[in-house]
């Protein structure tokens, strides 16, 4: 009986060993890692953008009388004018001068903005009404002075172009303000277009009020409003630009240079 028990034990052991070996062989081994291919994207790779072109260098003006770069302006009109409606109160305490505001027919501008600017300039405390010199009032009918916004070509025809520079002028009781300058200004005033427009109005209306041209009096000081600042704020440069063409005043070559100024009494 002991022999049978021993054989049974041996058989059971062998069976267990066989089962354990089979279990070990059938356990799944660690599978090797394999990369899954990714389909190509429909979006193309970004193309590097070209570097931005540097801005053009600022213009170097060969003369202070050059017309600055800037927006387009009315080149030609009909040569006739219409009144921009509007009236105002008397401003100032001296002898009265009336004025009307006009725009050339055939040009497109903001007429109301122009007339408001003229009003504000002529009634400003720094203007011709200061110190009791005179008083002004805007009217729509007969006037002491008629302030006209004028195309470039009409301004050249009226004011002359013997000196090849765009300018404004006074002819009798008519003041012609060049649209080229109204839009672009003058080198001496850059980049302040408002200050130049103030100068345009006060300088040309000053002629209508009996004022003549003046040179720079004090080196480094504010230019007299009757200095020809469209040409330059340098006495020497004005002499060079005008080149002997009479300007109604003797401009000395004395090296004096003023600061741009648009007011009679700054």
Residue-level pLDDT at 128: 97
pLDDT at 213: 97
As a whole number of angstroms, the distance between CA 205 and CA 77 comes to 22
Q: Tell me, what's the pLDDT at 53?
A: 75
Longest alpha-carbon distance in the chain: 155
Q: Could you give phi then psi for residue 24, rounded to 5 degrees?
A: -65, -40
First to last CA, the chain: 139
User: How much of the chain is helix, strand and coil, in % rounded to 5?
Assistant: 30, 15, 55
- Report the topology of domain 81-213: Collagenase (Catalytic Domain) (3.40.390)
Delimit the domains of the chain by residue range: 81-213
pLDDT of residue 43: 56
**CA–CA dist 227, 176 (Å, integer):** 17
pLDDT of residue 21: 40
Q: Which residue has the tokens 């600017």?
A: 117
**What are 167-176's pLDDT values in tens digits?**
999 999 999 9
- Token couple for 159: 């004011």
Q: Which residues of the chain have pLDDT under 70?
A: 1-48, 50
> Which tokens in the block code for residue 104?
């050339």
pLDDT given at position 60: 80
- Write the pLDDT tens digit of every residue in 14-45: 333 333 343 333 333 444 444 445 555 565 56
Contacts of 132-135 with CB under 8 Å at 24 or more apart are 132/92, 132/93, 132/94, 133/92, 133/94, 134/92, 134/94, 134/95, 134/96, 134/97, 134/209, 135/90, 135/91, 135/92, 135/93, 135/94, 135/95, 135/96, 135/97
190: CB partners within 8 A, 6+ apart:
68
- Predicted confidence at residue 37, as pLDDT, reads 53
Tens-digit pLDDT profile for residues 118-145 = 999 999 999 999 999 899 999 999 999 9
pTM of the model: 0.79
* 106, HSE (Cβ side, Cα atoms, 13 Å): 12
User: Taking each helix axis from N to C terminus, what angle separates 111-122 and 193-208, rounded to the nearest 10 degrees?
Assistant: 70
């Amino acid at each position: 009986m002991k022999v049978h028990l021993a054989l049974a034990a041996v058989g059971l052991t062998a069976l267990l060993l066989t089962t354990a070996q089979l279990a070990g062989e059938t356990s799944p081994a660690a599978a090797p890692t394999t990369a899954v291919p990714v389909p190509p994207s429909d979006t193309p790779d970004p193309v590097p953008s070209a570097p931005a072109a540097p801005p053009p260098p600022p213009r170097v003006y060969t003369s202070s009388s050059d017309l600055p770069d800037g927006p387009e302006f009315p080149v030609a009109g009909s040569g006739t004018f219409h009144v921009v409606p509007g009236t105002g109160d008397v401003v100032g305490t001296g002898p009265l001068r009336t004025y009307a505001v006009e725009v050339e027919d055939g040009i497109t501008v903001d007429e109301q903005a122009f007339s408001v600017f003229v009003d504000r300039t002529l009634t400003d405390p720094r203007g011709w009404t200061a110190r009791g010199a005179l008083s002004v009032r805007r009217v729509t009918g007969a006037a002491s002075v008629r302030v006209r916004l004028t195309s470039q070509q009409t301004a050249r025809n009226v004011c002359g172009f013997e000196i090849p520079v765009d300018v404004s002028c006074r002819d009798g009781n008519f003041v012609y303000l060049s649209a080229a300058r109204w839009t672009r200004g003058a080198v001496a005033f850059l980049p302040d277009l408002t200050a130049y427009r103030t100068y345009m109005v006060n300088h040309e209306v000053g002629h209508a009020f009996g004022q003549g041209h003046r040179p720079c009096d004090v080196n480094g000081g504010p230019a007299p409003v009757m200095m020809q600042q469209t040409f330059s704020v340098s006495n020497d440069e004005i002499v060079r630009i005008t080149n002997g063409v009479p300007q109604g005043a003797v401009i000395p070559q004395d090296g004096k240079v003023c600061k741009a100024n648009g007011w009679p009494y700054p």
